[in-house]
Amino acid sequence: MDHPDDEIARLREAFTRLPKDIGHGDSVLIRRSDVRPEWVMQVIEDPHDRYEESRPGMERRTVIVGRVSESRQWIKVVFVGDPETGLFLTAYRDRRLDEDYGGPPWQIQ
């Protein structure tokens, strides 16, 4: 079994390799200091939900929703296009998702 530090390093490296939207996705960790890169990758690798959004005049976006025990909150990860071929746009903790997916108390995973 991998050491927890090895797993965090693997997830952070995977986040570094994600193709990112220039000017937005590449600065998400500066703008969203309450989201860690390993959390983003954990949500991508083990999503609770995934759906697409499209609005007139905007590119199609894929939203992946999940949570990790350390965050104690739902995390929304957004890609322009499809996660396999598109660009990472943003990720943030979203309390509004409690209404859709349930809120505290969180069970530790």
**Terminus-to-terminus CA distance in the chain, angstroms?**
17
What is the model's pLDDT at position 28? 82
pLDDT tens for the chain, residues 1 to 109: 567 899 999 999 999 999 999 888 888 878 878 899 999 999 999 999 999 998 888 889 999 999 888 888 999 999 999 999 999 999 999 999 999 998 876 655 4
**Whole-Å CA distances, 63 to 15, 52, 54, 81:** 16, 6, 11, 10
Instruction: Decide if 64 contacts 44 (C-beta within 8 A).
Output: yes
pLDDT of residue 105: 64
If we measure between CA atoms, which residue out of 26, 107, 32, 24 comes closest to residue 67? Answer: 107
Distance CA 48, CA 66 (A): 5
Question: What pLDDT is stored for residue 45 in this prediction?
Answer: 96
